[in-house]
């Protein structure tokens, strides 16, 4: 592959975005691809499970002293050759993290990251809600080709996904990234799959994969590894492999149609009623129990 596939993965904080991204990265690497994962979150914990405990100074930390930064100073080669980079940010409570993402991404371009590593895939793991222009950098300016959004069936996660769709719609006409699909994560409740399917249908999006909630994930994280590395034979590892395969094969992208505030509210209310009925034992056509 000459030009790397650049993929941005967004989603509400705590939804399992970094876990999913790292497992996809690990699965891609396992399949023989050259992968770079860039954590675009000031918390800088995106690549923890890929690095085998190796210390990785963030891009912004390295620029702090004003000295010339080399690519090897800010990257670590992790599981199966995955190149790990963390954009980083200011210490909590000061500065501007959004501007930080912007500056870090520019610096990576200046350092000829892609020419140097010649990756097949670049994964940007971006802080959840698009809170300002800085966090939209991977979507804008044609940096990423495709955006995936990680969402659970919780309303707040759906809400954040809908917001991200707004950002994609805004920039799509000027060469911004388009939506690859929704990665449904932490599926637990009986109605979760139907709810996400319905959200995708309402917004013209595709569901790329379903990741059930699993103890394997929590366990692997505690060992500081991805599921692919820690428990390669588990069913959960196969889930991630399938997901990675979809991402390799996926050619189709869409510009989603985000719901407006009232549409989203009405849609949520409808599901509220439906869930209540499920709880009360009614069996509905759509509900995949």
Partner 1 sequence: MSLLNKKTSLIREKRLQAISAYYGSTELLLNENIKEGQFLQRVRTFSQETASDILYALNVVSTIPESAIVIHGAAGCGAGRLSLDLTDNNDGKWAVTNLNERDSIMGSDVKLREAIKQVYKLHHPKIVFVISTPIVAINNDDIETVVEELTDELGISIVPVYSDGFRSKIGTTGYDIVSHSIAKYILKRDSTIKNEAPKANYVNLLSVSENEADLQEVNRLLQELGLNTNVFPRYADLENIQNVKNASFSISINPDEADYPGKIFETDFQIPYIQSVLPLGIAHTSQWITDISIATGHKTEALELISREKEKLTELLKKRKFNKQKVFISLTPAYAIAVYDLLVELGFEVVGIKLSYIDQLHFGFVEKLKTERPDLALLVGEGQLFEEENLIQKVNPEIYIGGKGGDFAVPIRNGIPVINIDSIQIIGFNGVINFVEKIGRSLANTSFTQLLAQNETRTYTNGWINKSTNWFIKKEVK
Residues that bind partner 1 (CB under 8 A): 60, 63-64, 66, 89-91, 93-97, 99-100, 103
Residue closer to partner 1, measured from CB, 111 or 259: 111
Query: C-alpha dihedral over 170, 166, 163, 196, to 10 degrees?
Result: -140
Residue 166 catalytic?
no
Rounded to 5°, the CA angle 121-233-28 comes to 5
Residue closer to partner 1, measured from CB, 66 or 281: 66
Work out how close the CB of 44 gets to partner 1 at its nearest, in angstroms, rounded to a whole number: 14
Instruction: Check: CB of residue 147 under 8 Å from CB of residue 177.
Output: yes
Residue 198 catalytic?
no
Work out how close the CB of 96 gets to partner 1 at its nearest, in angstroms, rounded to a whole number: 5
Residue 43 catalytic?
yes
Catalytic residue among 5, 12, 146, 193: 12
Residues 7 and 3: their CA atoms lie apart, in Å, by 12
Residue closer to partner 1, measured from CB, 63 or 151: 63
Work out how close the CB of 43 gets to partner 1 at its nearest, in angstroms, rounded to a whole number: 15
Residue 12 catalytic?
yes
Instruction: Check: CB of residue 145 under 8 Å from CB of residue 6.
Output: yes
Picking from 153, 100, 97, 150, the residue whose alpha carbon sits closest to that of residue 128 is 150
Instruction: Check: CB of residue 107 under 8 Å from CB of residue 97.
Output: no
Contacts of 55 (CB under 8 A, 6+ apart): 76
Catalytic residue among 43, 145, 197, 198: 43
Picking from 225, 211, 210, 148, the residue whose alpha carbon sits closest to that of residue 179 is 148
Residues 258 and 159: their CA atoms lie apart, in Å, by 10
Residues 226 and 22: their CA atoms lie apart, in Å, by 7
Cα distance between the two ends of the chain: 42
SS3 195: helix
* Count of other CB atoms within 10 angstroms of residue 47: 27
Work out how close the CB of 255 gets to partner 1 at its nearest, in angstroms, rounded to a whole number: 29
Catalytic residue among 5, 129, 193, 225: 129
Catalytically annotated residues: 12, 17, 43, 129
């Amino acid at each position: 592959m000459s030009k790397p596939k650049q993929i941005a993965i967004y989603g509400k904080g705590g939804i399992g975005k970094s876990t999913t991204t790292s497992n996809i990265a690990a699965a891609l690497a396992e399949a023989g691809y050259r992968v770079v994962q860039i954590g675009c979150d000031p918390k800088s914990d995106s690549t923890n499970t890929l690095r085998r405990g190796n210390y990785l100074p963030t891009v912004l930390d390295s620029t702090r002293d004003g000295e010339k930064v080399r690519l090897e100073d800010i990257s670590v080669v992790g599981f199966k050759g995955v190149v790990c980079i963390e954009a980083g940010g200011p210490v909590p409570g000061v500065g501007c993290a959004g501007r930080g993402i912007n500056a870090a991404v520019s610096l990576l371009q200046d350092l000829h990251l892609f020419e140097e590593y010649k990756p097949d895939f670049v994964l940007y793991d971006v802080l959840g809600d698009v809170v300002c222009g800085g966090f939209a950098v991977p979507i804008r300016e044609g940096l990423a080709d495709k955006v995936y959004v990680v969402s659970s069936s919780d309303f707040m996660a759906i809400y954040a996904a809908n917001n991200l769709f707004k950002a994609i719609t805004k920039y799509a006409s000027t060469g911004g990234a388009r939506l690859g699909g929704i990665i449904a994560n932490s599926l637990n409740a009986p109605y979760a799959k139907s709810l996400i399917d319905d959200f995708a249908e309402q917004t013209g999006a595709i569901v790329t994969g379903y990741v059930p909630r699993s103890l394997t994930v929590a366990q692997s994280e505690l060992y500081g590894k991805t599921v692919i590395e820690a428990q390669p034979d588990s069913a959960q590892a196969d889930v991630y492999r399938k997901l990675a395969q979809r991402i390799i094969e996926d050619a189709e992208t869409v510009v989603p149609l985000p719901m407006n505030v009232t549409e989203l509210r009405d849609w949520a209310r409808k599901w509220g009623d439906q869930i209540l009925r499920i709880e009360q034992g009614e069996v509905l056509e759509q509900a995949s129990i």
